[in-house]
Amino acid sequence: MAQRKITREELKPGECLCDHCPAKCCKYFALPIDEPEKWEDFEFVRWYLLHDRASVFTEDGVWYLLVHTTCKHLGTDNRCGIYHTRPQICRDYSTDDCEYDETWTYEHYFETAEQIHEYAEAVLPKPRGQSIRSPKPALLPILG
């Protein structure tokens, strides 16, 4: 039988939330990217998504490249193997707002190049002279 996940409120005084967490924060990194505004920009995003374990999301109107990869210093116990010499970004990170609770959702989340291409088609203006309708079929030949 699977053990129930402890809530933040159930932590005992002095107990660390990380003792109960699968270390999500150490299994990816996300970098802000420029919001795509034209086809060329979306082609860069499409290129990101052609790479394994990459996705793109938006949060509060900001676009991010998300790379799903585990820190090489994460131990099998989901604890930091270089805790006392960890990078400053890790030192600044707090469990106060971490994703342990999984209550958030993304505004947009793209996993495939096809998804970002379809999104670009939907939000970018159509090139001049291009219609959203299917092209007219060729006329049938006249039989004589």
pLDDT in tens, 19-42: 888 898 999 999 999 999 999 999
Residue 130 has a pLDDT of: 63
Q: Is residue 44 scored above 90 in pLDDT?
A: yes
Q: Give the C-alpha separation, 44 to 56, whole Å.
A: 11
Q: Give the C-alpha separation, 44 to 33, whole Å.
A: 10
Residue 116 has a pLDDT of: 98
Q: Residue 30 in contact with residue 68, Cβ under 8 Å?
A: no
Residue 2 has a pLDDT of: 64
Residue 91 has a pLDDT of: 94
Q: Give the C-alpha separation, 124 to 42, whole Å.
A: 10
Task: Copy the structure tokens of residue 105.
Answer: 């959702």
Residue 56 makes CB contacts below 8 A (sequence gap 6+) with: 33, 45, 48, 49, 63, 64, 65, 66, 108, 109, 110, 116
Supply the pTM of this predicted model.
0.77
More confident residue, 142 or 90: 90
Q: Give the C-alpha separation, 26 to 77, whole Å.
A: 12
Q: DSSP character for 138?
A: P
Average pLDDT, stretch 5-13?
A: 85
Q: DSSP character for 80?
A: B
Q: Give the C-alpha separation, 44 to 36, whole Å.
A: 9
Q: Tokens 């990078």 belong to which residue? A: 87
What does the pLDDT look like over 82-130, one tens digit per residue? 999 999 999 999 888 788 887 778 999 999 999 999 999 999 987 766 6
